[in-house]
Structure formats: structure tokens, C-alpha cells
Amino acid sequence: MSEVLLERPSPGVALIRLNRPEARNALSQSVREQLAAHFTVLSNAADVRCIVLTGGEEVFAAGADIRDMAERGAVEMLLRNTHRLWAAIAQCPKPVVAAVNGYALGGGCELAMHADIIVAGEGASFGQPEVRVGIMPGAGGTQRLTRAVGKFQAMHMLLTGLPVKAADALRMGLASEVVADDEVQARALALAELIASMPPLAVMQIKEVLLAGQDASLEAAMMLERKSFQLLFDSADQKEGMQAFLEKRKPVYVGA
Ligand code: CO8
């Protein structure tokens, strides 16, 4: 069976499931290639409005595959061009909800941080233990983590390699919600279904502007926001959404 499964649990929603339990869903080059391929296809699929990313009910992902890296040299790592595979996830225009049960460590934590919403189970834990195996994060652990939780929490996690429990992750801003372990998948799917029922152009503009604006000046980011706001007034879904409100009926969005 494939190490990365793609399912379509409900209309508008795609579910990507890591399926390498014997290696705690460690992200080998092959797994990353499969992830990138799925994200590339789903990014362009008009009938997909939200993506749930999960490792299943036991473990999210225990990081990059250490067996796959232990004997590699710098040039070999460079030639893998792994950043292009991560970019397929980072540049996905559709919202991504991570459903995290169990460990999200190293590259697994970085993978979760590529999502837009993180639903964590009470027993989940997040960590960047790379320092303990002689390296450092290479897919956003020093950058996305710091943007999410700030310098002092990020340094604490990165320099010690100590994981944080779900409740602390929530408090720090590294999770959106914490629910009972056996409710994680259902909750992530429910959120994805709700997002999939929203007007897709507005949803994609919100994601794009929020992410681009984080690294721009406030003035530039406000201009981006304004332009996207104005752009949406040319969409059929804006007319439908406002008309439906005025007519006290449920809107029907078409993504145009
Ligand atoms: N890589 C390869 N194999 C792994 C990994 C991993 N990251 N994690 C677990 N496994 C394997 C184990 O080797 C073991 O295999 P086997 O049965 O053949 O001996 C199997 O999974 C089960 O593991 P455990 O027996 O250790 O299971 P436990 O439930 O007792 O423990 C843990 C689970 C806590 C997750 C533990 O396995 C662990 O600490 N794993 C390593 C965590 C880690 O250090 N992660 C960071 C890796 S480095 C990294 O992610 C760099 C990211 C850079 C970005 C990518 C750019 C290329």
C-alpha cells in the first residue's frame, strides 16, 4: 500500500494521510515526493476546496527519515532539492487543516506548520529535536516556528530539543484547537467541510494575503489586503453572498 494515501471523504474536501506506521511516518525522500505530487494535483483541482493533512490516529510524523540521511554529505543533500517539494505544500492556495495525533517532531512539526489550521489531540506533542542528532531544522523550524510562537519559546524548543504537549502548544500559538484524541480526525474534517462551504475565491484570497502579509511591511500588507478585498467585488460569489443575506436564504457559491 502507498506510503501517502489520498481520500475524498466529502464533497470539496481531500484528505492526505501519511501511511508509514512502521517508521512513525518518518518523511523519507519518497514520502516527500508523494506529498508534493498530491499537493500539486489538489492545488489545481477545482473541486477541492480544503485539504486535511494527517498521519492517522497514532502519530503525525516523527521527522525526516534519519536512516535516509545518516550517511549523506552536504552536496547529496543539496542535490535532493527538497525545498522544491516543501514549496508544493507551502504554495498550495487551498486551506490546509493539519489533524495531529501523537508525535509531530522535526520535519513532522515543520510539516504541521505548513498547514493553516492545526487541530491537535490532547496526547499530541510538538518538537524540533534535530539538535539532538547533530543538525538543525531545515524546513522552517527556525522560521515558521519563531513567527508562530516568538523568539523565546522557539529558542527553548530548538536549543533543547524538548517537545511541548498539545495544551502548551495551544497556549503558545502552535495549535489552533486541542480536542480529545479520538475526536481529532472528525473535528479536522468538520472544519474542512465548513471551509469548503465558503466562497472559494474569498477563502483563497484570505490565505494568500495573510501569508504574504506576514513578511511584508504593514503598509504593503494593508495595500495587498485592500486590493484583494476590492478584487472580490468582481466575483459572482460576492453578489450571491450579499444577495442571499438580503433575501434571507442560503447562498450557493460557485467559485467564480
Ligand atoms: N527516521 C527514521 N526512522 C524513524 C524515525 C525517524 N525520524 N522515527 C522513528 N523511526 C523508526 C525507528 O527507527 C523504529 O524503527 P525500527 O522498528 O526499525 O527500529 C520505528 O520507527 C519505531 O520507532 P521507536 O521504536 O523509536 O518508537 P517509539 O514509539 O518508542 O518512539 C519517537 C517514537 C519518539 C518518535 C522516536 O522514534 C523518535 O525519537 N524518533 C526520532 C525523532 C527525531 O529525532 N526527529 C527529527 C529527525 S531530523 C529532522 O526531522 C530534520 C528535518 C529537516 C527538514 C527536512 C529537510 C530535508
> Looking at residue 85, which CATH number applies to its domain?
3.90.226.10
The torsion angles phi and psi of 45, rounded to 5 degrees, stand at: -90, 115
253 in any annotated domain:
no
CB of 93 closer than 8 Å to CB of 207: yes
Verify whether residue 110 is a known catalytic residue: yes
Mean pLDDT on 6-13: 97
CATH number for 225: 1.10.12.10
pLDDT of residue 1: 81
Computed over every residue of the chain, the mean pLDDT equals 97
54 in any annotated domain:
yes
Mean pLDDT on 31-44: 98
Mean pLDDT on 26-40: 97
Residues 157 and 39 in one domain: yes
Which residue is associated with the grid cell 490532547?
A: 122
Percent of the chain having pLDDT more than 70? Answer: 100
pLDDT > 90? residue 25:
yes
Spatial distance between the Cα atoms of 51 and 16, rounded to a whole number of angstroms: 7
Verify whether residue 130 is a known catalytic residue: yes
Verify whether residue 107 is a known catalytic residue: yes
218: amino acid identity, one letter: L
pLDDT of residue 198: 98
Mean pLDDT on 20-32: 97
Please work out, in degrees rounded to the nearest 5, the angle formed at the alpha carbon of residue 122 by the alpha carbons of 1 and 184.
Answer: 45
> Which residue of the set 64, 99, 196, 202 is catalytic?
64
Give the domain extent around 106. Answer: 4-196
> Which residue of the set 110, 140, 192, 196 is catalytic?
110
pLDDT of residue 218: 98
Mean pLDDT on 14-28: 97
Q: How many domains does the chain have?
A: 2
Q: Return the residue whose CA atom lies nearest to atom 42 of ligand 1.
A: 62
Mean pLDDT on 94-99: 98
Mean pLDDT on 155-175: 98
pLDDT of residue 131: 98
pLDDT > 90? residue 153:
yes
Residues 131 and 235 in one domain: no
Q: What cell numbers appear for 89 in the block? A: 505544500
Residues 115 and 161 in one domain: yes
Mean pLDDT on 133-150: 97
